[in-house]
Amino acid sequence: MRIALGIEYDGSGFSGWQVQSHARTVQGCVEQAASVVANHPVRIACAGRTDTGVHATGQVVHFDTDADRSDRAWLMGINANLPADVGVTWAQPVSDDFHARYAAERRTYRYVILNRPARPGLFAAHVGFEYRPLELERMVRAARYLLGEHDFSAFRGAGCQSKTPWREVQNLSVEGIDGFINVEITANAFLLHMVRNIVGTLLVAGTGTRPPEWVGEVLASRDRTRAGMTAPPGGLYLVRVEYPSRFGLPAAGPRRSLRFS
């Protein structure tokens, strides 16, 4: 039997998603908790491996088991064995051809920027901080150059193992709410550090250091050294993973903006 789970976590206390022998990871915690409920070792596959310090409200995973448990038993049992900074939001059986990573049609990440002169004290590990005033309209105009299918080499992190730099960005919105700016990006897939590199580049346009059309020039150059700095991990959230309707998974994660006020 194959079981799918929805997962949310505060990434600030983890060394990323993927299991490491001498570090605390989200995968390690979820596998340990699921193994207790299944009464056998469980290995989990996820929709997207997040880096150290990156959060999720809509991560999706799956694992195989011979254990016969109700959906509620999986949900409550795994949560009972998880630490406070990670939790299961739903659980259900899926067909054997479901794969959390390879069956996904698109993923959505949201980056939350706190834009004010004073640094954050309360949400330091959960937002990106920019003290310089940002012009929202400049960022919106700059973001338009990244829509569609392109070679995103200019926004590809060193060490990326993807076979191709081509990705299709289906939506890229920039919205301001009460001193926060949310950059939300939906694509068929992402390169290593792609969202954080895009955000760092949009910040250059937003501060007025470069014009919005410069972002299009960076994209066309395919040169990572021409783009902005990589934004810090704390502001990044995996918020949605979408699959074909035939798998019957719960509705995709929250579409409302993350707010801290």
Quote the crossing angle between the two packed helices 136-143 and 194-206, to the nearest 10°: 130
* 64 assigned to active site: no
DSSP state of 234: G
Residue found by looking up tokens 């730099």 in the block: 165
Q: Which two tokens stand for residue 36?
A: 């207790």
Angle of helix 194-206 relative to helix 213-221, nearest 10 degrees, comes to 140
Beta carbons of 171 and 106 less than 8 angstroms apart: no
The active-site residue, picked from 51, 66, 68, 96, is 51
Let me know the angle formed at the C-alpha of 255 by 254 and 261, rounded to the nearest 5 degrees. 85
- Residue showing tokens 């109700």: 70
Residue by residue, DSSP assigns 127-188 as SEEE-S---HHHHHHHHGGG-EEEE-GGGPPTT---S--EEEEEEEEEEEETTEEEEEEEES
Task: Give the DSSP H/E element, type plus range, for residue 92.
Answer: strand 86-94
Cβ atoms 138, 212 nearer than 8 A: yes
What would the two tokens of residue 116 be? 């004010």
**DSSP helix/strand/coil, 74:** helix
Known catalytic residues are: 51
